[in-house]
Structure 1
Amino acid sequence: MLGRTLSASILGIKPTCDVDKGNCEATVTQNVVSFLALYLIALGTGDIKPCVSSFGADQFDDAAAAEKVHKASFFNWFYFFINIGALIGASLLVWIQENVGWGLGFGIPAVAMAIAVVRFFSGTRLYRHQKPGGSPLTRLCQVVVASVRKYKVEVPEESKLLYEIDANTESAIQGSRKLDHTNGLR
């Protein structure tokens, strides 16, 4: 984000525009700085997007009823603020870029990102860290194979008759948690 802000603000990096002719010309260096910043944003977004909601879910204990409620509330607020951020980005920041300047339009989200990173790392000692339970790809393949093999199996009405529904809180898979039984995706 800082790279995009600099490429829109600093005269040596910012492309020069002739307002009367309506054209902007960027040098090779200006293109490299601008596209490098865009690629870094894409790389960072691709790294963090799939992990944020999972990491947030790991902060709650599914065994505690109160924490299950807090987990649902977390996801409601999480997606609410994701959509508010998208709304602000697609409206207010675009207006600022068009009417005030591109440097400020990129600078505001850069500062917001810096504040978010500092705030995230300031809570590191308080986070719950779940141990990985093996390869998620293996688990996904196991589910697909099991569902194909057992598509005709009748599910018992009583959940006590299901696999792994005893008093033991650990899953048979090392490092994994048990999932609650649900009739969803039947």
Structure 2
Amino acid sequence: MLVLTVAASVPTSYYHGDVHRTVVVYLGLYLAALGTGGIKPCASAFGADQFDGGDLMELEKKGSFFNWYYFLLNLGSLLSSTLLVWLQDNGGWGLSFAIPTVLMTLGLAVFVGGSRVYRFRKLRASPFTSICQVLVAAVRKWHVQLPDDISLLYELASSSSSAESSHKIQHTSQFRYSNYCITQVNLLSKFDN
């Protein structure tokens, strides 16, 4: 956002031709897309991790968190497509990029300021390793028929806490082959250890 703000605020005379300005604008757009792609899928999941799924009071707070999260997300979309467009027409592109840049900077400061109180769920294994295990099991079991008993498609029962068990993959009637592959990975890891 800072690159876009600078690109929109600096007069054209400072650039050595339209090509340089175009490069700076596209650099800002690509950086914004990269940043959005990095934070959008993680923000709601990280927010959900802040609440204990086994505590009824925290489940209620989790629902409130998501109500506010999506309300503010949609409010931001509404304001960016109305107020910021009006500002672009009447106040200039530099001002209309500066406002979200300042708001994002404030949001980042609040996020970093609260880092001491965040809950971090510990990973049991690398997500990349888990994905690779499913892919390897899928290739190895390509020709295997699915069992008639769908209870074999569930993850293995374990003595883990209720908070960890709430993150287990549940059975679904869709993606039956993937369910079977995940079950095979669980069985293989149990017997390989």
Give 1:22's aligned residue: none
The yes-or-no answer on 1:120 pairing with 2:116 is no
Task: Report the TM-score when normalising by structure 2.
Answer: 0.70
Cα distance in 1 for partners of 2:93, 2:3 equals 13
Cα distance in 1 for partners of 2:35, 2:129 equals 26
Change in Cα spacing, 1:70 to 1:115, as seen in structure 2 (3 Å) is same
Deviation at residue 13 of structure 1 after TM alignment = 7.0
Give 2:19's aligned residue: 28
Give 1:73's aligned residue: 64
Give 2:96's aligned residue: 105
The yes-or-no answer on 1:39 pairing with 2:30 is yes
Structure 1 residue identity aligned to 2:5: T
8 A Cα contact 2:54 2:162, kept in partner: no
Higher relative contact order at CA 8 Å, sep ≥6: structure 1 or structure 2?
2
Aligned Cα root-mean-square deviation (Å): 3.2
Deviation at residue 64 of structure 1 after TM alignment = 1.0
Deviation by residue 1:90-117 (Cα, 9 ceiling, x = unmatched): 1111111112211111111011101100
Cα distance in 1 for partners of 2:116, 2:70 equals 25
Give 1:158's aligned residue: none
Cα distance in 2 for partners of 1:6, 1:88 equals 21
Cα distance in 2 for partners of 1:50, 1:32 equals 28
8 A Cα contact 1:7 1:13, kept in partner: no
Give 2:80's aligned residue: 89
Q: Secondary structure at the match of 1:91?
A: helix
Give 1:9's aligned residue: 9
The structure whose residues are more often helix, as a share, is 2
Structure 1 residue identity aligned to 2:149: V
Deviation by residue 1:38-59 (Cα, 9 ceiling, x = unmatched): 1111111111111111110110
Give 1:179's aligned residue: 166
The yes-or-no answer on 1:153 pairing with 2:149 is yes
Structure 1 unaligned blocks of 5 or more: 16-25, 156-161, 172-176
Deviation by residue 1:6-28 (Cα, 9 ceiling, x = unmatched): 1111114778xxxxxxxxxx622
Change in Cα spacing, 1:76 to 1:149, as seen in structure 2 (3 Å) is farther
Cα distance in 1 for partners of 2:89, 2:114 equals 37
Cα distance in 1 for partners of 2:13, 2:101 equals 17
The yes-or-no answer on 1:53 pairing with 2:61 is no
Cα distance in 2 for partners of 1:37, 1:98 equals 20
Task: Report the TM-score when normalising by structure 1.
Answer: 0.73
Change in Cα spacing, 1:95 to 1:152, as seen in structure 2 (3 Å) is farther
Give 1:169's aligned residue: 161
Deviation at residue 164 of structure 1 after TM alignment = 3.0
8 A Cα contact 1:7 1:34, kept in partner: yes
**Count of residues paired in the alignment:** 164
Deviation by residue 1:63-98 (Cα, 9 ceiling, x = unmatched): 111111111111111111111111111111111111
